[in-house]
Every structure is written in structure tokens, then in C-alpha cells.
Amino acid sequence: MTTNTQKPERIKIFDTTLRDGEQSPGAAMTHEEKIEVAELLDEMGVDIIEAGFPISSQGDFDAVNTIAKRTKNAVICGLSRAGLKDIDRAAEALKPAKRFRIHSFISTSPVHMKHKLQMGPNSVIEAIAASVGHARRFTDDVQWSPEDSTRTERDFLCFAVETAIANGATTINIPDTVGYSTPQEFYEMIVDLKNRVPNIDKATIATHCHNDLGLAVANSLAGVLAGARQIECTINGIGERAGNAALEEVVMALKVRGDIMPFTTGINTTLLSRASKMVSNVTGFPVQYNKAIVGKNAFAHESGIHQDGMLKNVETYEIMRPEDVGVHSSSLVLGKLSGRHAFKDKLEALGYELDDQAFQDAFKRFKDLADKKKHVFDEDIVALVDDEVMRGHDKILIRALRVSSGINVAPSAELTLSVDGQDRTAKTTGDGPVDAIFNAIRELYPHEASLQLFEIKGVTEGTDAQAGASVRLEENGRTVTGRAADTDTVLAAANAYVNALNKLLVKREKRAPETLTVAR
């Protein structure tokens, strides 16, 4: 192993979970969920939080605005296209922030300019100058991105970047929008920009890599080695299509391999596992078991040879300690005799800071769970608290449920739903108890959304384990995933369906951004 004596340089972490991540099909988050995620990102030490795309919907505007008001440390960023209205709207949403950044973008590749924008190169250059200049009227912190950089002609890319900097851009973000590049190519591209753009030293270069070929993290690190000093990424790598570079992976790669990559970040890595669970819960996107850093198996050793090695010395098979990313070896925690104090300590260790009312609600649910379940594990507590957060502000709630099923019994469900504060009851049958419940929900709250996926998994092991249910619904091209956990499997299923419906209501409020009107 080589030892590098260079003083590590600081890399800024720009998190776009709430913007690019939330853009992925099915990943819609409610307003409250976005605030929760933003608070954790801030606490974790993320430098810049891209909180949304304010002109895209009232929901995005409100989320950016609230996050701007509440965030203590991070710079809050809002996305905008090159139109003046986009930029005005972003600036309005961001205004209450202690520090904010406007991020404007326009496509520069031939295929995007011709087919998407229907603009020639000269008009694109004019739009860059006008949009960046306009954004600078609101803040000194302006980021500009040439969308589809990696398929842009190099001379044009250099000129576009030079124009953006000349008009006041302080960060130049280089997106591999379609996840097409490779580490060598991405490295050379950043080096080329550094060598050929005359005013490049006036801006920070950032990477924004998509994962279509599974190379997003590798490309981001190659960009840093070439001179980029900001990485754009998302928790669990969520994002358009195959997603973005995963925050936890880039951060841990820089930390673990500081010997050959002498860079640091401001991230408190012990919160990574917590952030991964939170984002998975609010989006309903499961984390694959073998996912690097935060997967359930990332620190599990199954084979006898590995276990033997680990018992002799953990360094035989572990390149980082589970505690470094917030995974604690013993997760058996509490039982029904545990009191408020122990529960509070556990919540703090898991990274939760609940206000008094939320704590009392969570404690009550914990006691109910401990009555049904002998051992309450960390995973149970995370599922329980996140479930509470998810359901706290829902318009549709389950008030009562009774199901019957068995041999020679027609499965039926009697369900009472509260919709906008009004209780309604229905009794229905189905192919099974879950089908009967879903039929009752459809009767009480008629909707056109189709069921795309229904899944049940144990949160922990054993027959008394909580069931984690996921339900994916699709309506007019919009997909949402609802989740819930309960020791009662059918109740978990019912709550997951209702959670998906609540998310759909939020998503209905969103409208597609208008077609681009460039700066005039």
C-alpha cells in the first residue's frame, strides 16, 4: 500500500436525492418526508442540498421554500431551466435560506439541441449568457450545467462553459446525463476542460454521473482525480432510470482509499446507514441486499472460511468497520419492560430526533409492538418510527379493519376509512383477504390507479416479525410506492395501499414543467 503525504483536499458533496432522486418513477415523497430527508442530509454534513425544481409544481416550490427556511448549515439549491420565469421562481422559493444557490441548465449535445430544444448552437449560447446573468441578480452562487455533456462536441462544450463562467457561473457541473461515459473518458474530459477553457479557474468543476452502465461512482471519482471538486450524488443512488452516483459509495471510497485519493468530505459517515433506510422507506425503493456500504449483507460473513478469518482478525475480510457507516453489530434492543428513557436513548442512537408529541406516539406504538413481539430489534424501531412519519399527515387513514378467511370461508373484509376527516365503511369479498381489503379501499375511495406490485417481506426473522408491505400504483404514467410495517400482515398490506394512495394524491398536485422558454 502506498502512503500519500499530500494534505487531503476537500470535496463538496452536493446531494440531489430530493430533485434527481425524486424524479425516478415511483419515488414521489410527501412534503413532510422531504423535510425529514433534508434535515438528515443537513445533519450529516452535506454541503449543498438540491431541494427541488421550484417551477415544476407548487409541491416542489413549497418543499424548496420550507427546506430553505429550516436548514441550518447546508447551501440550499433549486433547479431551473434557462427561462427567466424558471429562475425567478427558483429565487423566490430559495429566498429564506441562509445561503442559496440557483442551478440552471440547458442541453448542449447535438441530439438534444435538435430534437428536444429545437434550437441552434448560437441560440443556446445566447440562452446560457442570459440565464446565468439573470440568476446572478439573485445570488453570487450560480451553478450551470450543460445537459448531456458527455455527448456534446468538445469545442462547443468548451465555449459553452466559458460563456457560463464569463456571465457569472461559479460552479460548472458536468452531467453524464445518459450514463454513457467511462472513467477514462470522463477523466480526460475534465482534464480537457481544465486545459482549454481560459476562465475555468474562476469556477468549481462538479460531476453529475448517471448509472446506466453501472459506472456512475467510478466516473465521479475519475472526475475528482482529474480536478473536479464537487460530486453530485443521491442516497442509495436513486435517480432517473438506473439512478445517480450513490452518495454513500463515493464518500466511503474517498474515506477508505485516502491512500490513493487524497480527498476528504464533510460527511459524518456514521449517519449513512440511517439515511439509506430513511430514503428507502419514504420512496418505497428497497435497498438491494448486496448493495455496497448500506446493503443488509454489506458486512455479513456467511462462509466458514470468512467467519474463521473474521474471528481471528476483522481486517481479514473487512476494509471498513460497520460502525463507520452507522451499522451496529448487536441489534437486539428492547422488550416490553423497557421504559421511555431506554427508548429515547435507542432513538438517538439510531439518529432520530423526535419532538415531544412524535416521541409519545412512537413510544406508544413501541409498547404495543413489544406486547405482541418478544424481541424488538433496531430494524423494528426504524420501521415503526418511519411508518409513523409516513402516515402522520395523510388524508386517507384506516380507522378499523376486520377480515375473515380460511378453508371453506369466502374471504371478506370490513373496512372503515377516514377520508379528509370523514369515516366511511364498506364490506367486500375477494380472492383472498388482501384482495378483499384492496376491493374495500377501491369502493370507499374510487380511483383509476392500477396495482403494479404487491410485496410482503419480514422486517426481521421469525413468525412474530413485523411484515413490511409494499404496494406500487400507477395512474396516467405516474407511479408511486406505498409502504407500511405491522406484526399483522394484512394490516401492513392495507396500510401500504393507503400510503400509496396518499402519495398519489400528492403526485396529482404536480404538473409537468411547461415547455422550455429560453431567457429573453
Interacting residue ranges for ligand KIV, rule: CB under 6 A: 20, 105, 145, 147, 173, 175, 177, 208, 210
Is the CB of 47 or the CB of 147 nearer to Zn ion? Answer: 147
The alpha-carbon radius of gyration of the chain (Å, integer) is: 24
AA identity, residue 409: V
Is the CB of 103 or the CB of 274 nearer to Zn ion? Answer: 103
Is the CB of 173 or the CB of 439 nearer to ligand KIV? Answer: 173
- Scanning 18-26, 245-253, 280-288, 510-518 for contacts with Zn ion by CB under 5 A, the matching segment is 18-26
Is the CB of 19 or the CB of 483 nearer to ligand KIV? Answer: 19
Pick from 412, 487, 398, 490: which is nearest to 441 by CA? 398
Residue 147's binding partner, choosing from ligand KIV, Zn ion, none, with beta-carbon cut-off 5 to 8 A by kind?
ligand KIV
Q: Is 146 helix (H, G, I), strand (E, B) or coil?
A: strand
Q: Which three cell numbers stand for residue 194?
A: 481544465
Residue 105's binding partner, choosing from ligand KIV, Zn ion, none, with beta-carbon cut-off 5 to 8 A by kind?
ligand KIV
Is the CB of 147 or the CB of 486 nearer to ligand KIV? Answer: 147
CB of 105 to ligand KIV, least distance (A): 4
Please give the Cα distance from 14 to 234 (Å, whole number).
Answer: 8
CB of 176 to Zn ion, least distance (A): 9
Residue nearest Zn ion, Cβ-based: 20
Q: Does 232 bind Zn ion (CB under 5 A)?
A: no
Is the CB of 172 or the CB of 403 nearer to ligand KIV? Answer: 172
Q: Does 20 bind Zn ion (CB under 5 A)?
A: yes
Is the CB of 245 or the CB of 370 nearer to ligand KIV? Answer: 245
φ and ψ of 151, to 5 deg: -115, 20
Residues, the chain: 520
Strands 478-486 and 467-475, by their bridges, are antiparallel
Q: How crowded is residue 371: how many other Cβ atoms within 10 Å of its Cβ?
A: 9
CB of 14 to ligand KIV, least distance (A): 10
Report the Cα 189 to chain-centroid distance in Å.
28
CB of 20 to Zn ion, least distance (A): 4
Please give the Cα distance from 169 to 133 (Å, whole number).
Answer: 8
Residue 430's binding partner, choosing from ligand KIV, Zn ion, none, with beta-carbon cut-off 5 to 8 A by kind?
none
Number of residues located near Zn ion, criterion CB under 5 A: 1
- Scanning 13-21, 106-114, 342-350, 491-499 for contacts with Zn ion by CB under 5 A, the matching segment is 13-21
Residue 468's binding partner, choosing from Zn ion, ligand KIV, none, with beta-carbon cut-off 5 to 8 A by kind?
none
CA distances to 256, 310, 329, 451 from 313, rounded to whole Å, are: 18, 5, 16, 49
Is the CB of 34 or the CB of 210 nearer to ligand KIV? Answer: 210
Pick from 308, 333, 310, 305: which is nearest to 322 by CA? 310
CB of 143 to ligand KIV, least distance (A): 9
Q: Which three cell numbers stand for residue 294?
A: 448500506
CB of 162 to ligand KIV, least distance (A): 19
Q: Across the chain, which distance is largest between two alpha carbons, in Å?
A: 80
Pick from 253, 382, 365: which is nearest to 327 by CA? 382
CB of 237 to ligand KIV, least distance (A): 13
Please give the Cα distance from 333 to 270 (Å, whole number).
Answer: 19
Please give the Cα distance from 49 to 15 (Å, whole number).
Answer: 5
Name the strand (E) or helix (H) holding 15: strand 12-15
Q: Does 50 bind Zn ion (CB under 5 A)?
A: no
Is the CB of 21 or the CB of 482 nearer to ligand KIV? Answer: 21
Binding residues (CB under 5 A) for Zn ion: these are: 20
